[in-house]
Structure 1
Amino acid sequence: MKTLAISTLTICGIEELPAQSERRVTHVLSLLDPGLAELDAFGAYGEHHRVTLRFHDILAPSQGYTHPEPKHVEAILGFGESLREGVAGRVEGHLLVHCHMGISRSTAAMLVLMAQNDSEASEDELFDRLRSVRPQAWPNSVMIGFADEQLDRGGRLVEALRRHYGHQLKIQPQYQDWMTRLGRQSELDMAL
């Protein structure tokens, strides 16, 4: 089983970042809202390579918000390529992917990186791996749709996402109310 060409994978939210500072993080992918100030937490980290992308965790374009676009997923895939190139000769590495809560944008990005790295893995296997890294994962469906296209998965990533949402609603039924309040009814509908 491949995961990524790096030994440790972590997904978290902003509040969890300080606790990661002692874990020898080597690579960080930050997915932040455009207006959010730079984060101080990384000052306590050792030497690491960090890429920051800024867009909102929304599902449909909205006035005053930056919607996820194909270029954002392209940038995530570019980050994945740099991981592959930079890992040669490295004995170990620790990839941290984070967004505001560590639930949606970051889990979508990690799934994109896993799918990029292991084109032979089934889509359901990729979501199983994602849940082993971040059990509360609820990946942004727009990002997964773009990744499905860009990785030539033929709709299979989106279909596996439907099953993933269904799985999450069974084990975490509170997500039904939470996602409704967050305006993510279209993702809930995908699970049905």
Structure 2
Amino acid sequence: MSTDTPPFGITICGIDELEGHGALGATHVLSILDPDHPVPEAFGEYGEHDRLELRFNDIIDPTPGMILPGPEHVEATLAFGRSLAADPQANLIVHCHAGISRSTASMVLILAQALPGEPAETILAMVHGIREKAWPNLRILELGDAMLGRDGTLVSAAYRLYRLQIERRPQLAEMMDAGGRGREIRAALALG
């Protein structure tokens, strides 16, 4: 049975939005930061919560001097996601720097794990509904899709979301292309 409703509360945001979300009553925070970025001060306003901090760059292919998202990051994300399932009152905030790529990809994987019977399109639509400017990091999705045994369906659904974003937000595609993410754009445009 398909649903449009996430199994727990979800907020996806960027660092500059964290301060405004302290009153949401987050029980869990997935914090994805660049390797050298300081811990956001906004967490001082948050109540007690479980927090996972991951540090890697928003890239999809090896780049000198940068940390590529790896299996260990995805495994940690999925383990954190399992802790959400154990809490019926879970309210998750997931953030990266802009709330567009690493955070949305991680949220796709957490939801795909929590809702194993849901089609990939539904999962991506759910994340897009929560964060309209979502452009999930392809490397994170490729690793997570394989770990979750989704047979490439999460990746294929992401290509369709990229295509939609290219049509609706060409500036987002330009930003991704400038950041070395042309592989995502080429995959989206290959859909025809």
- TM-score normalised over the length of structure 1: 0.93
Runs of 4+ off more than 3 Å:
2-5
- Counterpart of 1:20 in structure 2 is 21
Return the offset for 1:122: 0.7
Partners of 1:162 and 1:5 lie apart in 2 by 25
Rounded to whole Å, the distance in 2 between the matches of 1:129 and 1:52 is 24
After superposition, the Cα gap between the structure-2 partners of 1:167 and 1:2, relative to the gap in structure 1 and judged at 3 Å, is closer
Partner-residue secondary structure (3-state), 2:23: coil
Match of 1:68, SS?
coil
Q: Give yes or no for contact 1:110–1:130 (8 Å, CA) kept in 2.
A: yes
Q: CA deviation at 1:2?
A: 7.0
Segments of 5+ residues of structure 1 without an aligned counterpart are none
Structure 2 residue corresponding to 1:125, chosen from 122, 127, 144: 122
Question: How does 1:59-138 map onto structure 2 within 5 Å?
Answer: 59-85=60-86, 87=87, 90=88, 92-138=89-135
Query: Which blocks of at least 5 consecutive residues in structure 2 are unaligned?
Result: none
Q: How far did residue 46 of structure 1 move?
A: 1.1
* Cα RMSD after superposing both structures: 1.3
State the partner residue of 2:36.
35
Name the residue aligned to 2:167.
170
Q: How far apart, in 2, do the equivalents of 1:182 and 1:176 lie?
A: 10
Letter of the structure 1 residue corresponding to residue 151 of structure 2:
G
Q: Secondary structure of 2:166's match?
A: helix
Mapped contact 1:3–1:117 kept (Cα < 8 A):
no
Opposite residue 161 of structure 1, the aligned amino acid is A
Shift, 1:4, TM fit: 4.7
C-alpha deviation, 1:180, in angstroms: 1.9
**Offset of 1:63 from its aligned partner?**
2.1
Residues 32-58 of structure 1: CA deviation (Å, up to 9, x unaligned): 111111221100111111110111111
**Identity across aligned pairs (percent)?**
43
Q: For structure 1, which segment, 171-180 or 139-148, has the greater mean C-alpha deviation from structure 2 after superposition?
A: 171-180
Name whichever of 167-176 and 116-125 sits farther off. Answer: 167-176
Aligned to 2:137: 140
Aligned pair count?
187
- CA separation in 1, counterparts of 2:49 and 2:25? 9
